[in-house]
Amino acid sequence: MTCIATVAMLVAALGIANTMLMSVLERTREIDVMKAVGASGGQLLLIFLVEGALIGRQQRRNGTNGP
């Protein structure tokens, strides 16, 4: 049973990581604009960490592993 839970957590983590990677790659222009108006690297990191946490929470509620 523990093995199944571990695999499920790994699959969920990979799904979230993939979603976040695609989000960053698709939003490079937006990131550049935020940097141009004075956003620090820490603020950008916080934005993406909160977004990732919200995606993970929503996936847990839905029982899915993708958007």
Tokens representing 51 are 């977004």
Considering Cα of 45, then 48, then 54, then 57, what sign does the dihedral take? Answer: negative
Q: Which residues contact 51 (CB under 8 A, 6 or more apart)?
A: 20, 23
Please tell me which residue, 67 or 23, carries the higher pLDDT value.
23
pLDDT tens readout for residues 3-44: 888 888 888 888 888 887 887 888 889 889 999 999 999 999
Write down the pTM of the prediction: 0.60
Tokens representing 27 are 């939003």
Quick one: pLDDT band at residue 52, thresholds 50, 70, 90?
Answer: confident
| Three-class DSSP category at 39 | coil
